[in-house]
A and B are shown apart, each in its own frame.
Chain A
């Protein structure tokens, strides 16, 4: 499964979760998660809102403790973490330079290298609260990579970054993996990244739905089922939507019937996944425009049930 091949040797294993679950207020946020990340491996978690992607990442790095199952981390594992949300209170005067030294001392040269890599070297002495969303995200990414971690955990690392910047940052993340051989656990909604830069995709919906290389996952029926609706936000290549996902998770079909799940025969599911997109007759840019349109649509539909 690991396209980079190489070892299943234990010392390559950075983190491994076995049957891990966590419960809050009597409800399982995620359960039965099996997941491991080796050196040099990029694992991407995908799944709808509330699928437990961030929760799973937090279990892996020890921010949350599991209520069942186990989490094993390599001894002395050095983690660089970009959380999904981080708000610096405006009362704290914090420059980008100071943010870079948040959890460990760092030489000025190392800071500059990391900031240059993420394209914000000119913001070295800017105050964090004056940064735009995309700039702040770049600063957080720079901070995480400057630590030279064994494991980089990126929870939607490019949120708020402009479109051209997104591709560059994903390229950067790939190059960091290639240069340092660190493992990367990423949560991403970007199918391009999932397809192009990931060794293993894990599809979550409270549990592991399916997993494998991007190619195998995008063809799996579980993925089809899960992303029948949510895939509108990421399924760049499908354009025939003949059913609607209701806020409660049920599905309304074009004939007016309502079911708990999408049917495999529901329109766009018959479109093949990303694997044959080369033959697609839509121009590339048009695809993205389409994707964004659906993002808005999707969030207005599922906003009520969104949770971290």
Chain B
């Protein structure tokens, strides 16, 4: 079954979508969309460094994303510029440096478009193993950290006062985000990763009665977008990464239609999780 490129693409895409759902909810709740974008854009710098130093691509992308987020924390603490200005600087300069470095390395030929917009049809069984393995790690970590994550999203001060460690929680969250960006890069590409985090979560919001339910729904909606996008791209011969994002957007717009009245999954869903 894994012989078929389309099946592999489906498996890889669904794996990424399931992982991105809960994480994307936190991106939305914590208003970190631009932050996610910045981490994603820095991935190209990771790609360039991995080519230059001949190190593992995933490791390099993950490392650069973590470094950029730490750098942002340090810069924010100095409060010389607003957070969004800093994000803008880091986001585009890391992307630009990555592009320049790649251009300098005349001895390597890489398909930039594949990195920028994804190359889901070229995933290998090893990629799928990585996506699902990494995804399980991310989802398990989120489940373990769930209460402190939610608590510090609502109020870092209350979380801290009542015995949690929101600074640590935030750091863990950034590591998870860097990991997801590293493994999702091949599917939708650097430019579109954040859309896979944000759009399904935003779509899930209207149908959710609890944070837990919203996380689950975001995963399912993301998976639906992957399936729709891939079939659409097959049907109309469109690029697959952008097609997935367009499918996600279509679901989001559908969810806004008045006919799709808020239909919460019932209090049972929210009661089930403590």
Contacts and interface: CB of A to CB of B under 8 A. Distances in A.
A94 B270 CA distance: 9
A89 B31 contact: yes
Contacts of B29: 89, 91-92
A93 B154 contact: no
Chain A: number of interface residues, binned into ranges: 20 to 34
A105 interface: yes
Contact of B154 (A61, A92, A97, A153): A92
A95 B155 contact: no
Contacts of B28: 91
B114 interface: no
B163 A79 contact: yes
Nearest to B153: A92
B114 to A, nearest CB: 33
Contacts of A58: 157, 161
A79 B270 contact: no
A176 B160 CA distance: 23
Contact of A95 (B150, B164, B209): B209
Given A91-B28, A93-B210, A105-B274, A147 B161 contact: no
Interface stretch (A80-88, A198-206, A211-219, A261-269): A80-88
A93 B161 contact: no
A102 B157 contact: no
A103 B159 contact: yes
A69 B274 CA distance: 39
Interface in A125-180: 125, 127, 147, 153
A101 interface: yes
B151 interface: yes
Nearest to A95: B270
A3 interface: no
Nearest to A128: B154
Given A92-B211, A95-B210, A103 B157 contact: no
Contact of A79 (B162, B202, B209): B162
A89 B31 CA distance: 9
Interface residues of B, number: 30
Interface string A77-121: 011110100101101111101110111111000000000000000
B188 interface: no
Nearest to A86: B155
Nearest to B207: A93
Contacts of A125: 267
A93 B151 contact: no
A10 to B, nearest CB: 22
B162 A81 contact: yes
Contacts of B214: 92-93
Contact of B157 (A63, A95, A97): A63
B238 to A, nearest CB: 30
Contacts of B31: 89
A62 interface: yes
Contacts of A103: 147, 151, 158-159, 162-164
Interface of B: 28-31, 147, 150-151, 153-155, 157-164, 202, 205, 208-211, 213-214, 267, 270-271, 274
Give 10 nearest A-B pairs by CB, closest first: A81-B161, A103-B162, A61-B161, A93-B208, A92-B29, A105-B274, A63-B157, A63-B160, A103-B151, A102-B151
11 contacts: A80-B162, A81-B157, A83-B157, A91-B202, A92-B29, A92-B211, A93-B213, A93-B214, A98-B211, A103-B163, A153-B161
